[in-house]
Amino acid sequence: MQYNKISNLTGLPQSNKLSILTLNNNHIFDANHLSNVLRPFSDSLNSLSLSFNHLSAIPDLSFLSQLNAYDFSNNQISDPNSGAGSEIVSSADFSYNLLQSVPVIYRSLKSVTIMLLPHNLIHRLQDTDIPYWVVNLDLEYNLITELTDTSFPANSSLLFLTLDNNPIKSISSLAFKNLHSLESLTMQDTKLTRLPLTLAHLTSISYISLSYNPELVCTCLEKGVGKIAPYVDMSGMCGIVSIYNFLVELSPGCPQM
């Protein structure tokens, strides 16, 4: 039922055995209507795809006891407090929407370990936004300008963090203090002007990309970050010098702070 002009779903087949429903590229806009018409499939539906529609809110799908994956990418979802889901859901995609903050529905999706939120309008990040069980957080192409001491939860399980193409200007010196398990960090194309001191807290990190940050400057004030550099595949430049070379070869010559 893809690539139609469907907005009303009352004509769905009434079989209670429906397990996969794909409604991409239609004109569906009413989240309440969607919830109501899906109730006959509460014990059978396990996959729902509604990419490229006109939803402005996340529907209540908590009654779908077998649903383990849904795709709401490329809609117009702007209400972060809408919707409900069940703990059995393992995949939820909200990329390419109009969300200004992380949707609260993630707090109830205890089997979802990957948060897909690229290409939204999210402008701030709080520790309560990220459930402790999430291991992969994708927030590229949002509007985040700052990372603070309380941007990540104390018991974080994050392994992969993607923050590319955000206008990040400020990162506190303790912003990453809770990311003890983080293995991969990308912050390409931001507004950073200084190498974040908080990188020194990433004791499990193996890959960092700070490429395409043309205003980034490295000074002796960032010497402390050098302790992780020998163990990390690191990309990015400080002017004409690579960040890796600065930290490994040049920063040891800095005076003791």
Q: Are the C-beta atoms of residues 37 and 57 closer than 8 Å to each other?
A: no
Q: What is the mean pLDDT of the chain?
A: 94
Q: Are the C-beta atoms of residues 146 and 122 closer than 8 Å to each other?
A: no
Q: What is the pLDDT of residues 189-211, one digit of tens each?
A: 999 999 999 999 999 999 999 99
Q: What is the pLDDT of residues 72-118, one digit of tens each?
A: 999 999 999 999 998 999 999 999 999 999 999 999 999 999 999 99
Question: Residue 48's closest CA among 57, 63, 61, 33?
Answer: 61
Distances (CA, A) of 238 to 153, 242, 250: 30, 6, 12
Q: Provide CB contacts within 8 A for 16, sequence distance 6+.
A: 40, 41, 43, 44
Was domain 20-253 assigned CATH 3.80.10.10?
yes
- Which pTM value belongs to this model? 0.93
- Which pLDDT value is given to residue 256? 79
Rounded CA separation 138/158 (Å): 11
Q: Hey, what are 21's tokens?
A: 């429903």
- Which pLDDT value is given to residue 17? 81
What does the pLDDT average to over 38-65?
95
**Which sequence spans correspond to the domains of the chain?**
20-253
In the block, tokens 């939820």 appear at: 92
Strand partners, 71: 49, 93
What does the pLDDT average to over 169-181?
98
In the block, tokens 């193409």 appear at: 165
Q: What percent of the chain has pLDDT over 70?
A: 95
Q: Are the C-beta atoms of residues 177 and 151 closer than 8 Å to each other?
A: no
